């Protein structure tokens, strides 16, 4: 791994609510991703992880902050450069059923993006669709069929082929396995890993629990109520989690390594996250944190580098 393919700096995405309140879905997130890396992003529903993914690929415009892709600030690009960046950043969606047009043949779904960017046409286009289908573990003749003729796992493979069709370098995979049977999830993760090696891809892999990102991620970030709580390499997040929220999430992940059994203290995560319409004044996790203090309820903790590469937002000094 070498240079950063993506840097995001203090990115915010706010939405206006009908009540007039500004909902801070993403509230000042900063991180970078190296070329060829997979960054897992985990959080409960409403944590802002999908909004962040969509903001990065340009489906939403950020309210504040900078998104720098391949060294260029995406807000400063010409239209032509924007088109190029839009091609290089693709997205795979959670629900392969909803994201594939049921009235289109698979070959047209896959080549739609290629047409938009003036890629191949005629026989070459058809050959490329066949190649892509085989690359994702389907058969070239599947191109003539419609989405409803496939299983959920196969439909997700079609979604992956569609993303690959325009030769991206960076893919936001937004809960790509959450809607699939457990037996199929590992197959799709393995496919994404193989494609990453073959195509030199970089991933932002979004999921709602740590178990789903464990195997594919080099580093993992944990989000809560629009903010990052912790970010480090994926081994450390499982063996030495610092943030009380990460610890609570981990207590629900089964311990499989015999040396780790009994090491993890169980933190029961009670209640639901507060409404993003009325977030707590201080630390976003203070209403559920078992060790919250008065300072936690008053003052938001800083995002700080606790040790090299291990970032955390928590007031506790003895982490």
Q: What angle do CA 132, 134, 135 make, to 5 degrees?
A: 60
Give the helix ranges, DSSP H, for 57-208. 79-88, 106-116, 122-135, 152-164, 182-199
Q: Pick out residues in 164-183 that bind ligand SF4 (CB under 6 A).
A: none
CA–CA dist 184, 152 (Å, integer): 9
CB of 65 to ligand SF4, least distance (A): 23
Q: Are strands 304-307 and 310-312 parallel, antiparallel or unpaired?
A: antiparallel
What the block records as the tokens of 61 is 């415009």
What the block records as the tokens of 189 is 């993760």
The residue (of 111 and 246) whose beta carbon lies closer to ligand SF4 is: 246
CB of 27 to ligand SF4, least distance (A): 15
What the block records as the tokens of 275 is 């409404």
CB of 14 to ligand SF4, least distance (A): 22
Query: What residue has token string 């959450």?
Result: 178
CB of 91 to ligand SF4, least distance (A): 31
Q: What are phi and psi of 247, to 5 degrees?
A: -60, -40
| CA-to-CA dists, residue 82 to 97, 122, 133, angstroms | 29, 27, 28
Can you tell me which of 85, 147, 289, 311 binds ligand SF4, judged by CB under 6 A?
289
The residue (of 213 and 292) whose beta carbon lies closer to ligand SF4 is: 292
Given a contact cutoff of 8 angstroms between Cβ atoms, the answer to whether 180 and 186 are in contact is no
The residue (of 192 and 313) whose beta carbon lies closer to ligand SF4 is: 313
Q: Pick out residues in 241-260 that bind ligand SF4 (CB under 6 A).
A: 243-244
CB of 293 to ligand SF4, least distance (A): 6
Site string (296-315) toward ligand SF4, x via CB under 6 A = x----x------------xx
Can you tell me which of 283, 303, 310, 311 binds ligand SF4, judged by CB under 6 A?
283
| Binding stretches for ligand SF4 (CB under 6 A) | 243-244, 283, 285-286, 289, 291-292, 296, 301, 314-316
């Amino acid at each position: 791994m070498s240079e950063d393919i993506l840097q995001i700096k203090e990115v915010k995405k706010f939405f206006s609510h009908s009540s007039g309140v500004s909902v801070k879905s993403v509230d000042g997130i900063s991180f970078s991703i190296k070329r060829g890396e997979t960054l897992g992003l985990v959080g409960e529903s409403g944590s802002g992880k999908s909004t962040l993914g969509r903001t990065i690929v340009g489906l939403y415009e950020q309210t504040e902050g900078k998104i720098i892709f391949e060294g260029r600030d995406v807000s400063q690009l010409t239209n032509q450069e924007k088109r190029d960046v839009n091609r290089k950043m693709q997205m795979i969606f959670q629900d392969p059923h909803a994201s594939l047009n049921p009235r289109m043949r698979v070959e047209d779904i896959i080549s739609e993006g290629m047409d938009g960017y003036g890629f191949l046409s005629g026989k070459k286009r058809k050959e490329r669709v066949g190649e892509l289908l085989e690359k994702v573990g389907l058969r070239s003749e599947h191109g003539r069929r419609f989405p409803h003729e496939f299983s959920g796992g196969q439909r997700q493979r079609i979604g992956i082929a569609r993303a690959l069709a325009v030769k991206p370098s960076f893919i936001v995979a937004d809960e790509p396995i959450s809607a699939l049977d457990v037996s199929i999830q590992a197959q799709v993760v393995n496919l994404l890993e193989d494609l990453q090696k073959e195509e030199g891809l970089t991933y932002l892999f979004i999921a709602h629990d740590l178990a789903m990102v464990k195997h594919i991620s080099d580093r993992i970030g944990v989000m809560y109520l629009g903010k990052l709580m912790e970010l480090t390499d994926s081994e450390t997040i499982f063996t030495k989690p610092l943030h009380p929220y990460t610890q609570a999430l981990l207590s629900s992940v089964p311990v499989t390594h015999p040396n780790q059994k009994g090491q993890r203290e169980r933190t029961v995560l009670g209640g639901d996250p507060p409404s993003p319409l009325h977030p707590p004044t201080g630390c976003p996790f203070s209403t559920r944190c078992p060790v919250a203090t008065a300072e936690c309820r008053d003052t938001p903790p800083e995002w700080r580098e606790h040790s090299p590469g291990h970032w955390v937002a928590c007031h506790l000094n003895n982490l």
